[in-house]
């Protein structure tokens, strides 16, 4: 397997992300696999940002640890990135603007190119210096200029022939610059692939699954979902940017109550505001999908960094007890499949489903084979189209599986009350009349048990709520959930190449959890918990449900995404003590 890590470093406003996106598309359309991730600040211009693209000829599980090719667009690109360079790394920099004295004594190969001068003389646009640098990179990678020309034509063709030509000429200058030679032989399989982030995959899945309403207030890192729906609101989906997160979730509940599939999205801070309404959806048994994309907290925390510290929060959000489902996609493909499942489960069990994302999975980019929207199966659950029984409609009718038939407002004979107070089968409140009378005590118990019985039925009817095991004959297993799974998979590959015998046990459905089956999977095995939080929240969930206490833990909470190399290094240190 051959892979190369390229990092573009500069300031916000320098075109770092657009250059990275261009390189991703060139590699993907050249039959290569790509994994991209960016580090950025919350300011609009200035500061220090970077975009790392890992390119290879086989499946990639992360953006990589050390950098093989660095494009330093300014002086900070040298200062802040020098400790991230691999031995023998190439450093592309503007030799008329950037000083590289800080790199003296390091085993690196310097490629000084007058990027700005070439950009200005080529097109008159200083931002084109990025394109010059990208041209040099694709030469180093062994990718042809023809591949660049195809991508730039498709990306910028609508801007006119001059824009396309200027980009091609600028890239050619970098490609053919003296001293830039093909140094890596990345050979693609000839298959053009899609490249996409988790927010986009989730949005496409929601659309394919029949979502007709999306409401949100902008909040990183969930804003990408908002942007997707805003760009596609002409496709039969009503999109609403609300005044705050409280309004967003209540709008989504109202839309679902009216009969359409609805979703809202936010990050941890916004979800904090949504929790009261989450219990509202639980009480009136209205289907609802909520996306919570975690970032580093508490409070505003690090708004552009990643973490997995909201797991226990979403599992217990809002007061009281009510059925809910918590899922956490492990990769981009699963952002699609799990979102479809979330909508079906919300409808079938008439409860909130929380899709627990984080900045890393929301925003990192991977090449994928594509999604088959035609394979999406939509299950709407129990919906009454007519009241054949006569009399008042029992919206919350007592049922053995805990699920009562709901109706669409306007359906003749199915009028009902949807109260936030405790109620009877018709929706009539019992809270005001409650004074310890036996009939109301019994009704409260009956209705509460009816709702909570849905959790048992989920475990009985669905196969999702157990961890997934990879390499089951292994001697030691790394245990994780959600987006950290890909880094864990890479760590296992690296460790097993050294002669170890490691496997992966990962969770993507976290609530409810099949206690008996989960215990059987984990019991008797040597386990190492891997999470991006301080308190080992997954390990707490496992302990609470199975009684199994995972002693060995690898925890990261600095805001940066964990990599396979990091995990493998720490596992080796733990290995001898196990």
* Residue 151 scores a pLDDT above 60: yes
* Residue 465 scores a pLDDT above 60: yes
Which CA distances in Å does 344 have to 210, 211, 308, 496? 10, 11, 25, 38
Over pLDDT 70: what percentage of the chain?
99
The 10s digit of each residue's pLDDT in 437-451 is 788 889 999 999 999
Per-residue burial over 164-178, b if 16 or more Cβ lie within 10 Å, else e, is: bebbbbbbbbbbebe
Q: Decide: 55 and 27 in contact? Cβ < 8 Å.
A: yes
What is the SS3 assignment for 43? coil
Mean pLDDT over the full length of the chain = 94
Cβ neighbours of residue 374 under 8 Å, at least 6 residues apart? none
Q: What pLDDT score does 186 carry?
A: 86
Q: What pLDDT score does 192 carry?
A: 84
The 10s digit of each residue's pLDDT in 539-548 is 999 999 999 9
* Residue 388 scores a pLDDT above 60: yes
Write down the residue that tokens 């805990």 correspond to. 402
The 10s digit of each residue's pLDDT in 31-71 is 999 999 999 887 777 789 999 999 999 999 999 989 999 99
pTM above 0.75, yes or no: yes
> What is the pLDDT confidence band of residue 481, given thresholds at 50, 70 and 90?
very high
What is the SS3 assignment for 92? strand
The closest of 98, 99, 105 to 83, measured between CA atoms, is: 105
Number of CB atoms found within 10 A of residue 298's CB: 9
Q: Decide: 236 and 370 in contact? Cβ < 8 Å.
A: no
Q: Decide: 310 and 271 in contact? Cβ < 8 Å.
A: yes
How far is residue 382's CA from residue 144's CA, in Å, rounded to a whole number?
Answer: 56
Tell the burial category of 152 from Cβ atoms under 10 Å away from its Cβ (0-12, 13-18, 19+): buried
List of domains in the chain? 3-192 (3.40.920.10), 196-375 (3.40.50.970), 383-461 (no CATH), 468-575 (3.40.50.920)
CA 417 to chain centre: 37
Using only the alpha carbons of the chain, give its radius of gyration. 26
Lowest mean pLDDT among 32-41, 150-159, 239-248, 307-316: 150-159
The 10s digit of each residue's pLDDT in 206-218 is 999 999 999 999 9
Element (H, E) at 492: helix 484-497
How far is residue 194's CA from residue 287's CA, in Å, rounded to a whole number?
Answer: 32
The β-bridge relationship of strands 325-327 and 261-266 is unpaired
* Residue 303 structure tokens: 């708004």
What is the SS3 assignment for 455? helix
> What is the pLDDT confidence band of residue 354, given thresholds at 50, 70 and 90?
very high
Give phi and psi for 187, each to the nearest 5. -110, 115
Q: Residues 536, 39, 54, CA angle at the centre, nearest 5°?
A: 95
More confident residue, 123 or 73: 73
Residues 60, 64, 68, 69: is their CA dihedral positive or negative?
positive
With the CA atoms of 414, 420, 422 and 423 taken in that order, what torsion angle do they form, in degrees rounded to the nearest 10?
A: -20
Q: Residues 160, 165, 168, CA angle at the centre, nearest 5°?
A: 135
How far is residue 533's CA from residue 356's CA, in Å, rounded to a whole number?
Answer: 14
More confident residue, 409 or 541: 541
Write down the residue that tokens 């929060």 correspond to. 313
* Residue 433 scores a pLDDT above 70: no
CA 67 to chain centre: 24
How far is residue 427's CA from residue 233's CA, in Å, rounded to a whole number?
Answer: 35
């Amino acid at each position: 397997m051959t892979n190369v890590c390229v990092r573009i470093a500069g300031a916000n406003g320098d075109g770092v992300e657009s250059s990275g996106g261009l390189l991703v598309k060139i590699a993907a359309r050249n039959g290569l696999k790509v994994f991209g991730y960016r580090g950025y600040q919350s300011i609009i211009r200035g500061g220090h940002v970077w975009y790392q693209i890992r390119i290879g000829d086989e499946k990639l599980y992360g953006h990589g640890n050390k950098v093989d090719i660095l494009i330093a667009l300014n002086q900070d690109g040298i200062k802040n990135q020098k400790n991230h360079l691999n031995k023998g790394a190439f450093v592309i920099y503007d030799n008329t603007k950037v000083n590289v004295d800080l790199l003296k004594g390091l085993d690196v190969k310097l490629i000084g190119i007058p990027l700005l001068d070439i950009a200005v003389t080529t097109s008159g646009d200083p931002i084109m210096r990025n394109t010059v640098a990208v041209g040099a990179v694709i030469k180093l990678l062994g990718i042809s200029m023809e591949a660049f020309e195809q991508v730039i034509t498709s990306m910028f063709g609508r801007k006119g022939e001059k824009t396309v030509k200027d980009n091609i000429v600028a890239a050619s200058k970098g490609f053919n610059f003296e001293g830039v030679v093909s140094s890596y032989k990345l050979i693609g399989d000839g298959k053009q692939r899609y490249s996409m982030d988790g927010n986009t995959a989730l949005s496409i899945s929601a659309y394919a699954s029949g979502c007709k309403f999306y409401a949100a207030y902008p909040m990183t890192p969930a804003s990408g979902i908002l942007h997707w729906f805003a760009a596609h609101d002409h496709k039969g989906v009503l999109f609403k940017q609300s005044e705050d997160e409280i309004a967003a979730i209540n709008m989504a509940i109202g839309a679902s109550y009216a009969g359409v599939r609805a979703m809202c999205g936010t990050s941890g801070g916004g979800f904090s505001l949504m929790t009261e309404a989450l219990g509202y959806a639980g009480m009136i048994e209205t289907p609802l999908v909520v996306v919570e994309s975690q970032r580093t907290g508490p409070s505003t925390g690090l708004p552009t960094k990643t973490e997995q510290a909201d797991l226990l929060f979403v599992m217990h959000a809002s007061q009281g007890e009510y059925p809910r489902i918590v899922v956490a996609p492990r990769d981009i493909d699963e952002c699609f499949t799990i979102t479809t499942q979330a909508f079906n489960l919300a409808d079938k069990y008439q409860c909130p489903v929380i899709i627990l994302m984080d900045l890393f999975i929301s925003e990192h980019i991977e090449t994928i084979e594509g999604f088959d929207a035609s394979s999406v199966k939509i299950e709407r659950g129990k919906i009454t189209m007519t009241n054949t029984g006569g009399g008042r409609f029992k919206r919350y009718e007592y049922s053995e599986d805990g699920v009562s038939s709901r109706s669409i407002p306007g359906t003749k004979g199915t009028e009902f009350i949807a109260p936030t107070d405790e109620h009877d089968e018709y929706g009539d409140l019992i809270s005001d009349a409650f004074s310890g009378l036996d009939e109301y005590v019994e009704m409260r118990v009956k209705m509460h048990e009816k709702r909570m019985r849905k959790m048992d039925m989920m475990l009985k009817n669905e196969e999702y709520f157990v961890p997934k095991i990879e390499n089951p004959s292994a001697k030691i297993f790394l245990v994780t959930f959600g987006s950290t799974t890909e880094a864990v998979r890479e760590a296992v590959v690296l460790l097993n190449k050294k002669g170890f015998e490691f496997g992966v046990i990962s969770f993507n459905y976290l609530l409810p959890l099949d206690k008996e089956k989960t215990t059987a999977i984990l019991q008797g095995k040597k386990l190492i918990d891997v999470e991006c939080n301080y308190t080992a929240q997954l390990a707490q969930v496992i302990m609470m449900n199975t009684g199994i206490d995972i002693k060995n833990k690898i925890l990261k909470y600095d805001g940066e995404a964990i990599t396979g190399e990091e995990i493998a290094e720490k596992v080796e240190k733990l290995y001898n003590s196990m």
